[in-house]
Structure 1
Amino acid sequence: MERKAQPEDCSNDLDPDYFPIPPEAAKAMNTCYIASTYSTCTLEEISAAAPGGLRWFQLYVHRNREVSKNLVQRAEASGFQALVLTADLPYTGRRRDDIRNGFRLPPHMKLKNLEGAFEGDDSSEYGLPPNSLDASVTWNDIYWLRSLTQLPIIIKGILTREDAELAVRHGVQGIIVSNHGGRQLDGGLATIDALVEIVEAVQGRAEVYLDGGIRKGSDILKALALGAKCVFIGRPALWGLAYKGEEGLQDVLRILQDEFRLSMALAGCASVSEIGPHLVQFSKL
């Protein structure tokens, strides 16, 4: 990837999927926007809403590979600059809050990128046919994706050294250290705990990013100190949107930027290049 992380690049992973997220806010804040397969706006609508913005497309691979192929090609044609392959969701985890709350996708909202793709199938609470995801995806499918697109491929959902090494061996350009917001495997590693061994395993052969648990500017400082190029956020973006829409999201990003710069200054760092592991002390417990 050519674009390196700077203090203003506290990137914004808008993955919790089922809500229309204004890409204009990400563009206005010079921030990367990741659009999900399950967005309630189409790829084309997102592209048109913020022309010239930095945007990536997050792909969930479905058993009907033609559906996924079409999405990849639409993303590239719409000007998305990278493909983010979701690696940690062969099945939807048992999300107890959703079960307890009786969650279903509201009837006025549709997974617009998939409209017409699964006609005739009963939909689950997430608006998809049951078992529509392809649980048979393997590392070799990275080569399949490479045959479909010229976009850089980033793999999202890596938590171990072994998988990071395999990802690099299969030619990905980036890795997002992610546990899917803690919504997949109960008791899985926190991403900040997995980051160090993944950075060590990759050894600069691909860029390493992190999401999960970023709530303050000091969280960004810690992640960069441990080797992440940048971070992504999900829940804080939704909080900002619930507060005041696009303006609220910009407020969230601005707060993170300001807190990050302050944390850098208090740690004695005049630039991002001065951030390193010497800033972090690990507990011996």
Structure 2
Amino acid sequence: MPKAEVGSVKYVANKMKSKGLQRLRWFCQACNKQCRDANGFKCHVQSETHVRQMQLVGEDPRKYIEQFSQEFKSAFVNQLRISHGEKFIGANKYYNEYIRDKEHVHMNATKWPSLTEFCKYLGREGICNVKEDEKDGLMIAWRDVSPEAVRRRNEIREAEMAEARNGAGEEKMMKRMVVRAKAEAEAKAKREDAKKVKEKSSESPPAEDKTESRSEGEAQAEGGEEKPTVPPPAPVKLSFGLKPKATPANKVGLGQMKTQSVFKRMRTETGDGKAVKKAKV
């Protein structure tokens, strides 16, 4: 039975009937035809067009398998880039988004036996970033391999490394500052302890006095009589100054000699000029 022409009523009716996803086992990738039930798929397999197409595929099956694999990979990666970019998403969740298009190339026509093997292949080739999560299982993300993206990633990596080096330098500096502060605190504590010990030693009496007092006490306890104590001699003061000696009050110094005339001094020396006391009447 020939196909309905595009745009005809039968074509539109068939499209409405085949709306949505259909069974994968009733899909023929060689003819790119989806059947709605087992009877329809059986009729399609026995049709002349399918037999002719399978003869072509049988001549070089690796060629067709490689072609389907490349189409599946390009469509899968392109939709991943457009939909999610470089964000991680579960592989099973994304595959369900991918197969919503009925015209897509199915995985059973490719060289990969399962979705897990296909994701591992993408990770080995560096096309996608692949990781395994405990909650979502296998996760994939598109990897931008353009020159601009590679340069941008290198710049980000260098900035992170520089920041890490700066952080390490800051940590070393902080450790040095901590060690220096501890050393200064210990030195200050030692100085304070030495100062306290010095103050205590200045306040307490000398050791010789203690020994002398102890010996005197022992002697008093042994002899029972007190020995007379001899007072220590007075200290002698020595002065090496050039101060003039003080003259007595009844003597007159050279600078303090009274001025007298020559005649008066001679009268006093001979005794002629002695003053005579007048008697009062």
For this structure pair, what is the TM-score category when the shorter chain's length is used for normalisation?
under 0.3
Which fold has the larger relative contact order, with Cα–Cα distance below 8 Å and residues 6 or more apart in sequence? 1
More strand, by proportion: 1
Give the TM-score of the pair, scaled to structure 1.
0.17
